[in-house]
Amino acid sequence: MTARVALPAGAEPHPWNDDYEWSLPAGAPTTLTADQKAAFDRDGFVVLDRLVAADDLAAVTADLDALEAEVDAYLATQVGERASIAERGAITFTVHPVLRSAAAQRFVRLPELLGLAEDLLGPDVNLYWDQAVYKKPEKPRRFPWHQDTGYTYVEPQHYLTVWVALTDATVANGCPWVLPGVHRWGTLRHRWVEPMGWQCVPAEGVVDGAVAAEVPAGGAVVFSSVTPHFTGPNTTPDVRKAYIVQYGRSGMTMVEDDWERGGRPTGTSPCDDPERQFPVLRGGEAV
């Protein structure tokens, strides 16, 4: 078994995370190279500079821009132009575009993305979550260190995030930063930080060992749900745009109860909403 890296200062395992064991599907990958899969296994992420064709990228970006404009207009009506962790001029989240965009419906089923899901999850996969995240230049702000499982604790803990760059993502405009190797600990304890969201590493910026995952438009940062990551502020004059598509193994469940108050898991609920968590692979074949 590969040795775990040390946890960052102030980080600790989630209270429900008992004896976590990291694993990937056996066998040779078909979309990734063997070296890329090995890097993902070791580091918890891989950067793919070229993933999505220009036509597919343009089609989904056009729809996401229109949907994001609706989110921006809604935030303009809210107190402080905020709703939860979204803030007009800083960062917006357009959740579940697959419910309203034919281009998004096609995008989440692209062979390139489904190939990644099969290589890193296995032959039976559902869409778990999709959202556009636009980082605005008017109010430069970081997004805290977190794991995606810090927002919703699930079993199995490892699912897949394909962070597709709709525009070039650079350090200057808020590309992801990741902590290699920490994924092997599984889910960490998260604490809520106002006004930014859940945080698993108590640091306001780059920490020792962190790697900047810069990626051009049409490429992707591919990482596990248990890989800690954060994004820095957008200090450029332009919007940084990303479409985040997440896949989980068929049968993945949300674990229920209040861990913050010391509760232990009391049950689970399936992640299988037929409108937005539909099957995309069965037996390695596209659905």
Please write the tens of the pLDDT for every residue from 205-256.
Answer: 888 999 999 999 999 999 999 999 999 999 999 999 999 999 999 999 999 9
Cα distance between residue 93 and residue 86, in whole Å: 6
Q: Is 223 helix (H, G, I), strand (E, B) or coil?
A: strand
Query: Which pLDDT score, from 0 to 100, does residue 261 have?
Result: 83
- Eight-class DSSP state of 109: T
Query: Mean pLDDT of successive 10-residue segments in the chain (287 residues)?
Result: 85 93 96 98 98 98 98 96 92 97 98 98 98 93 90 96 98 97 97 84 88 98 97 96 98 92 90 97 98
**What is the model's pTM?**
0.96
Tokens 């997004």 found at: 143
Domain boundaries, the chain: 34-255
Predicted confidence at residue 35, as pLDDT, reads 98
Q: Any bridge partners for residue 129, and if so which? A: 246
Task: Determine contact, residues 158/222, Cβ cutoff 8 Å.
Answer: no
Q: Angle at the Cα of 25 (from 31 to 163), degrees rounded to 5?
A: 50
Q: What is the pLDDT of residue 1?
A: 54
Number of H helices, E strands in the chain: 4, 19
- Determine the Cα–Cα distance for residues 287 and 283; give it in Å rounded to an integer: 10
Using CA atoms, how far apart are residues 108 and 127, in angstroms rounded to an integer?
8
Out of 2.70.70.10, 3.60.15.10, 2.60.120.620, 3.30.565.10, the CATH code matching 34-255 is 2.60.120.620
Q: Do 157 and 225 form a contact (C-beta atoms < 8 A)? A: yes
The whole-angstrom separation of Cα 102 and Cα 14 is: 38
